[in-house]
Structure 1
């Protein structure tokens, strides 16, 4: 099977390079990835997928499906293609999406003899308010047995953790007055915002070491001689589990409510972006993927432990619905080249990156093949998923 998969990838290589490079040359921000989405849809349609554009009401989202017509599991690959402002594909989503699309096409080429279904999800805007959150909330992954993707990086890393994230906005309303002539007639909304930060800074002493709280003031008044009537603060609250995040968010909200009460201001609390759940890696799947990477020619010693999980990814929301992996593959051959840089973006076009893309596609496909063939393996994967802390 490995030789067959490798040959299928070789046959597809030129088209995959073209796909990645065309998306690289036309970087598009989240929910504006019109050309990028169409490029993925076009190649998937060419290879026999049934494509639903504008999926779940998101114009640049899509769902592409191929059903073998035989009973078996549903395997999903997650495709990303949004760029970063100013630096284009500094997170490598051009090659990430190409890897997932390539894996989808190769698996489709052999799934008729195995049975099951392959689904490729085009998921916009991972860098901001990720569409996977919306898809997950609307049931897109409810009939998926396993989901996979692999992210470009400066090394090979196993799939690990990410932090659950809730973005909170506090809008404080007070009353204006002349800050020198009649300060006693005003209610200072900015005081409430500042004291929210002070309260949260005191709270930090009692939070877990893996939690993160960081924020900014986006509106603090208009002039120094006017008591601010409006003040707005935005925070990201993160934690390693959704359960602890919910607890911590309540405490952060109480910090803001107390600050508003102390200043005499009114408070409005809202979410200004979508919530990201923590990534729950399925270790049975991840171990299998690593085994297949080695089969594809990646030295075992080059595959590192999971990255420290202090960021947040919208694949986390998928991992709360079905068994999921989100490993990393090396495109730089240089640990000094970090993601979210122009240097990292340029690495996506190198022969080193393309060679590792092919090996990663192979590992994803071979992982899927084992899951499609082995009912006991899938049962083990699902048993781990049910028991995992979320």
Structure 2
């Protein structure tokens, strides 16, 4: 059956590559991926999938299902882009690979005893679409969740960092910066003090902890004492526990900025907290075998932990049900994700190969899981256990 699913991907190759290029040509930001989601839905609908739009109360989220087997294999599609630099994380490749794997599996769904479910997951870059879909039941009944993500090289057991996405607003009092500065309470100074404190904190960060942010609002004009200012920050760590410890320390830096200047401050959560990836060991091992079988050379397992992938809401999924988030490599001429040059690389011939290989490997892994009686039983028991909670 592996040869048959490979052939299914190859047969759909023109449509999959067209889908990848079309999504790439019209990048859309988090929760605004109307055209991109529609393109994936339309392709799957034309192949006989039952499509439901607007799932989990999100207009750009969807599910597309085929088959009626008891083992529900979920394949996650992402399609949101980044501000200004478009698909510099290659979500066009993710979406096309997901569609390709599903199309290849569909003719064999009854024979394998599976249901194939493509989950269209918006807002991975910011917004946590998968977290919201988890919370609202879209992953209920899914036995395993699979996806691939492009990168400069292949990584099967990919890891990621837990992430907190926050905004910090300081409120002071505006005044004329020359004629009456003593009447002002400088929110811009609160930002400066906070960032100095964060800079000093960096010496004491635990391994794997990271801090990075921008000033999104620094005031209105040089002759006005800023009455308001804002920071946007990402806090990251290897584990959710380490992230909680980092958060407590970082929040004190923001409190220091407010205290020193007399401002008030408010911290808000922008996106749901992302947890770290915990890929399923069997799925990782099987995906690696399949990748090597088609001639790919993934990074050695002992090196995978040294290259975390930033953060992803797929981490939340893998902490609830078995899943994998491997990286499918492409020739990016030295560029890395979130660079404009990587966006350009995501519609090259190498990227098109990554689309097709990613689809083949996802389909192959799903077939192996469905055919292995022990793995199948484990995945089904996991669904039952979650339903009983």
Return the TM-score normalized by structure 1: 0.88
1:383 to partner: Cα distance: 10
Are 2:127 and 2:270, in contact at CA under 8 Å, matched by a contact in 1? no
Aligned CA distance change for structure 1 residues 301 and 280 (closer, same or farther; 3 Å): closer
Match for 2:192 among 191, 194, 203?
Answer: 194
After superposition, what is the alpha-carbon deviation per residue over 1:46-81, rounded to whole angstroms, capped at 9, x for unaligned?
Answer: 22221111222222221112232x4x3221111112
After superposition, what is the alpha-carbon deviation per residue over 1:295-335, rounded to whole angstroms, capped at 9, x for unaligned?
Answer: 3x224477774361151122122122212211111232x55
SS in 1 for 2:79: coil
SS in 1 for 2:94: helix
Does 143-152 or 10-19 show the bigger shift? 10-19
Are 1:156 and 1:303, in contact at CA under 8 Å, matched by a contact in 2? no
What is the RMSD of the two structures over their aligned residues, measured on CA atoms?
2.8
SS in 2 for 1:152: strand
Q: Which residue of 2 aligns with 1:318?
A: 317
- The gaps in structure 2 that reach 5 residues or longer are none
Are 1:323 and 1:382, in contact at CA under 8 Å, matched by a contact in 2? no
After superposition, what is the alpha-carbon deviation per residue over 1:208-232, rounded to whole angstroms, capped at 9, x for unaligned?
Answer: 1211112222223334444332222
1:100 to partner: Cα distance: 0.6
Aligned CA distance change for structure 1 residues 364 and 203 (closer, same or farther; 3 Å): same
Q: Give the number of aligned pairs.
A: 382
- Map 1:1-390 onto structure 2 (within 5 A): 1-68=1-68, 70=69, 72-180=70-178, 182-295=180-293, 297-300=294-297, 305-306=303-304, 308-309=307-308, 311-332=310-331, 335-341=333-339, 343-378=341-376
After superposition, what is the alpha-carbon deviation per residue over 1:8-28, rounded to whole angstroms, capped at 9, x for unaligned?
Answer: 222222222232233233333
Aligned CA distance change for structure 1 residues 115 and 250 (closer, same or farther; 3 Å): same
SS in 2 for 1:157: coil
After superposition, what is the alpha-carbon deviation per residue over 1:133-181, rounded to whole angstroms, capped at 9, x for unaligned?
Answer: 2212323223222111111222222232111111222212223344455
Does 153-162 or 339-348 show the bigger shift? 339-348
SS in 1 for 2:243: helix
1:197 to partner: Cα distance: 1.4
SS in 2 for 1:119: strand
SS in 2 for 1:14: helix
SS in 1 for 2:111: coil
